[in-house]
Structure 1
Amino acid sequence: MKPTRLALHLIAAYALLALTNFAHADSTSKRILFLGDSLTAGYGIDQREAYPALIGAKLKASGLDYDVSPAGLSGETSAGGLRRVGWVMQKPADILVLALGANDGLRGIKLSDTKKNLQGIIDFAKKKNPDIHIVIAGMQMPPNLGEAYTSEFREMYPSLAHENEATLIPFLLEGVAGDPELNIADGIHPNPAGHEIVAETVWKALEPLLK
């Protein structure tokens, strides 16, 4: 049977992460894991221009000894993230940047299920490393999904951060969403200039945890 495009993306993503883990298997560096969807994967651009890679460059420039493990997968939901967290965390992380949930919202998935899945990912990460720092990247939904749903979705992230004593990024796409000059042609995913702004937003949340 000919592999589907999604299967090929999965194979490529897992292979990339496996190579990353192998390359740093004997490293004493601390590890930052970015678990997310197409925004984290750098959909539509070179992965070297995506925000996790830009964070890696900032770490190197700052002389900070951290390995960056990007685990973004286009189309990923919170349920998908929960299914693969055991695989991507075979090697424990010191910081987890959790950037999932947007595809749940766009699909109208019940938010109680989304929150439960995200909590499951956090619980697994803490079990692997009780001292791990969790960074939760919040997202927002377009108003056409209804005021009640968009409001509940927006508040889900601060609630998770509060309940888990995690660092909150209120909106991952702050200053980028809706700006055609900062997004690729689909109007949803950041272009390289947009990812530079996303990287700055993430860096502000990460920097205090690195010292």
Structure 2
Amino acid sequence: MHQYISKFIPAAFLLLCFYACGNPETKTETIVESETTETPTEEKKIILFFGNSLTAGYGIEQDLAFPGLVQDRLDSLGKDYKVINGGLSGETTAGGVSRIDWFLEDEPAIFVLELGGNDGLRGIQLSETKKNLETIIDKVRTKYPETKIILAGMQIPPNMGTDYTQEFQAIYPAVASEKNVELIPFLLQNVGGIQELNLPDGIHPTEAGHKLVLENVWEHLKDDV
């Protein structure tokens, strides 16, 4: 973790996160109408990515953000899935709790939760962040018990102090364990803090960065699609 933190540009990182996706006609003539039997189209299974600007693809075309790249890979493999990008720039876990119900009209086969980074950068009480993540998971599981839930782990730079930073990172494995959901240990592994893989703000991945995030996510999707 310390190796990752040391690579950030803390000032730029913190500043920008505060600004932080008819019926057929019946003829009267004595004609027997032929009945056409249509095979109903089977609805595609849904993968819902629910997060902040990282999911939304801040600074690049949304199709080039990692959820869009997941869709491209599924299509290339002939997998019958529809990816929904529920990312919103600047979103906190509290905001996620307030809007999650809007995204649960249709049952997702897989739900990927990517929130908390903005909480940490704003110094929100860690117990509140943890509670909100658990609430979102509970809402999904209560409505759709069969949905697979994946939690994307996050890390933050040490602007709020070493203790806060370490405790923030520990939230994700704790929630994953307590709620029995799969954990991506660090969504931005091999991307976060690497200048050439991030936009000038030092926060959001470039197109090349999102391609690496795709691989981090795909490791946790490939056996279930």
TM bin (shorter chain): 0.7 to 0.9
Please state if 1:48 is matched with 2:63.
yes
TM-score by length of 1: 0.86
For residues 59-96 of structure 1, what are the alpha-carbon distances to aligned partners after superposition, in whole Å with 9 as ceiling and x for unaligned?
11122111100000000000001100000111121111
- Aligned length in residues: 186
Task: In structure 1, give the amino acid aligned to 2:133.
Answer: L
RMSD of the TM alignment (CA)? 1.1
Highest Rg: 1 or 2?
A: 2
TM-score by length of 2: 0.80
Q: 1:144 and 1:108 mapped to 2: Cα distance?
A: 9
Task: In structure 1, give the amino acid aligned to 2:82.
Answer: D
Please state if 1:201 is matched with 2:199.
no
1:144: Cα distance to partner?
A: 2.6
SS at match of 1:96: strand
Indicate which of 110, 122, 146 corresponds to 1:95: 110
Task: In structure 2, give the amino acid aligned to 1:183.
Answer: N
Please state if 1:188 is matched with 2:203.
yes
Please state if 1:127 is matched with 2:127.
no
Percent identical pairs in the alignment equals 53
Runs of 4+ in 1 over 3 A off after TM superposition: none
Shift in alpha-carbon separation, 1:27–1:50, aligned structure 2, 3 A: farther
Larger helix fraction of residues: 1
| Structure 1 alignment gaps of length 5 or more | 1-12, 14-25
Counting only pairs closer than 5 Å after superposition, residues 44-193 of structure 1 correspond to structure 2 as 44-193=59-208
SS at match of 2:219: helix
1:27: Cα distance to partner?
A: 5.0
Shift in alpha-carbon separation, 1:63–1:142, aligned structure 2, 3 A: same
| Structure 2 alignment gaps of length 5 or more | 1-20, 22-40
1:29: Cα distance to partner?
A: 1.5
1:207: Cα distance to partner?
A: 1.1
